Structure 1
Amino acid sequence: MADLGFEVNDDTALSRSRLPRWLRPLLMLSVPLLLIAGGVWLYIAGQAYEATDNAYVRQDKVSIAPEVGGRVIEVAVRENVRVREGQLLFRIDPDPYRIALRQADAALAKARVEVDGLGAEVSVADVDIAAARDEIAFAKAEFDRQSELLDRGFTTRARYQAAQLALAKTREQMNTATSEARKARVALGSGGAVSDRPATVEAALAAREEAVLNLSRTEVRAPASGVISQTERLQVGAMLPAGLPTLSLVADGHSWIEANFKETQLRKVLPGQKTTVTIDAYGKALSGHVESIGAGTGSEFALLPAQNANGNWVKVTQRVPVRIAIDSKSDRPLIAGLSAEVKIDVRADANADAR
C-alpha cells in the first residue's frame, strides 16, 4: 500500500513538472475568457435578428353558406377534397323555387293583361272626351240661342234655364272623362322607373327575376379553387336556413405567415426586411420578407378587449401581428394553421436592396 501511494504521487509530480509555470494561469483564464467571448458574440448576433416561434401559416378561408333555405337533396363533395372554381358543392331542393317562378310568370302575365285593359280604358276615355266636346259645343250654342230669345221675349225662362243646365251637365261630363283618362294614363305610367314599361309590369318582371335568381341559388358552387373542409354538418335531408355557414373552403395560391412579435421587438422591424421562415412540420427554411405590421395588438381586436382602467392593472407585454410574405416555394403544401419560427434580419446593410 505504501509503494502504491508513492508511485501515484511521483506520477502527479512528473505531470506537473512537464507544464511550464506561465501556462498554468493562462489555461485557468482561457475557459472564462472563452465563455465571455461566446456571450458577447451571441449578444451581438442577437442584435441583428428578431425572432419568434409564435407564428402560424395563414391562408384565405371562405365560409360557404346557402343564399336560400331548403332541404339538401345532393352533396357532391367530401372532406378535404380539392375543388375547382364553379364546381357544384351541394344542391337544395329546387321544387319550391320552381313553383315560385311559375307564380311570378303568372303575375307577370296578369300585369300585362291589366296594362292592356288600362290602354283600352284610355281609348274609351279619349272617345268620351271627344263626345263631351261636341255636346258642350251643342249645349253652348243652344244656351246662347235661348239667351238671345229671352232678351227679345220670344222664349220662356224655363227653356233658358234648361239650356243652362244642359250646358253645365256636358261640362261635368267633360271633366269626368278627362279625369278617367288621366287616371288610366297614370296607371300606365312608369312612375319614374329607368325603363318606359308600366310600373305594374316592371314590378312583375322584378319579381320574376328574383324567382329565377333564387332557383339558380339552389345549386351552391365553389367561389374559388381550393380544399373543402368541415363537411360533417352537410348531410342529405338536412334543412339549411339561408345564410348559415355550412362548409369552409381553403383557397389555393396564397399563403403567408402571421408572426406575433413582442412589442419590444419591433423597434427595428420595417416592411421589406428579409426573413427566414422555418415550418415546424417540415423543418425546412423558406425565405420571405416583412409585408406589413399590424395596425393594433391582438388584444385590441379581441371580442372582449382588456379593461385596463381599474385598480388591478398589471402590465403585460403585448404582441403585434406581423405579416410575412413567403418568397420561396415550399416542396410540400403549406397547411393553414401550421406552426413556424420566424427570424427577421434587421441589419440595415442586409436590407439595403429590399428598400
Structure 2
Amino acid sequence: MSDGNGSTRPKSRKLLRPILLLVVPVIALLGLIYLYTTGGRYVVTENAYVKSDVITISADVSGRVTDVAVEENQRVSKGDLLFRFDAAPYEIEVQRAESEMDLVATKIESLHTDYRETLIKRKHALEQIDFLTRQLKRQRQLRKQGLGSEERYDEARHTVETAKQQVQLIQQDTERVLAALGRCSQPAH
C-alpha cells in the first residue's frame, strides 16, 4: 500500500506543479489586461442627458464681466441679455476720442483762419504791387524827361521787386496752409 500511495502522489504533484506555474500566471495576466482596458481610461456617467443644445459664447470685445444675467441651464432666446461688461474703460476711450476730435476741429478752424489771412495778405500785396508798378512807370518817365533822379528810379524798381518776392512768400504760406488742411481732412488710417 505504501508503494501504491507513494507512487501516485508524486505523479499528481508533478502534474500539478506545471499547471500552477502556467495557468495561474496566464489567468493573472488576463485579469490585469481586463482591468487595464476597462478601468480608468474612459469617463462614464450614467445620467448625462442634455435637454437642449449647449453652445459656446464669446464676445467681440474684451473686458471684465461685471454681471451675469442668466443662471446655469436657463433657457435663453436670441437677443436676451447674458452678461454685462465693465463700461469704464470704454467710456474713458470715448472721452479720449472726443477730446482728440475737439482738438482736431480747433486745429482745422485755426488753419481756416490762417488761410483767410493769407488770402487777404496776398490781395493787399497784389494791390501794393499795382501801386508800386505805377510809381515805377512814373519814375521811369520822369527819368527819361530828365526830371527824376536815378536814385528814386532804382528805389522804385527795388520796391516793386521786394513786393513781388513778398507775394511769392505769401503764396507759399497759402500752399502750406492748404496742405495742412488737406492732411487734417483726410481720415486717419
TM-score, scaled to structure 1: 0.35
Q: What secondary structure is seen at the aligned counterpart in 1 of 2:64?
A: strand
Aligned residue runs from structure 1 range 83-162, under 5 A: 83-162=76-155
2:62 equivalent to 1:81: no
| Larger-Rg structure | 2
| Structure 1 residue 181, shift from structure 2 partner | 2.6
After superposition, the C-alpha distances for 1:297-335 in whole angstroms (9 at most, x for unaligned) are xxxxxxxxxxxxxxxxxxxxxxxxxxxxxxxxxxxxxxx
**2:158 aligned partner, one-letter code:** L
Aligned residue runs from structure 1 range 197-208, under 5 A: 199=185, 203=188
| Structure 1 residue 63, shift from structure 2 partner | 4.4
2:161 equivalent to 1:175: no
| Structure 1 residue 98, shift from structure 2 partner | 0.3
Question: Of Structure 1 and Structure 2, which has the larger fraction of its residues in helix?
Answer: 2
Q: Tell me what 1:28 maps to.
A: none
| Structure 1 residue 132, shift from structure 2 partner | 0.6
| Structure 1 residue 100, shift from structure 2 partner | 0.9
**In structure 2, distance between residues paired with 1:137 and 1:62:** 81
Aligned residue runs from structure 1 range 1-355, under 5 A: 63-189=56-182, 199=185, 203=188
The percentage of counterpart residues that share the same residue type is 28
**In structure 2, distance between residues paired with 1:60 and 1:153:** 109
Q: What secondary structure is seen at the aligned counterpart in 2 of 1:88?
A: coil
**In structure 2, distance between residues paired with 1:181 and 1:107:** 26
**In structure 2, distance between residues paired with 1:129 and 1:89:** 64
Task: Give 5+ residue unaligned stretches, structure 2.
Answer: 1-51
Cα pair distance change 1:93/1:122, threshold 3 Å: same
Larger relative contact order (CA 8 Å, sep ≥ 6): 1
Cα pair distance change 1:78/1:161, threshold 3 Å: same
Aligned length: 138
Question: Of Structure 1 and Structure 2, which has the larger fraction of its residues in strand?
Answer: 1
Q: What secondary structure is seen at the aligned counterpart in 1 of 2:82?
A: strand
**2:122 aligned partner, one-letter code:** I
TM-score, scaled to structure 2: 0.61
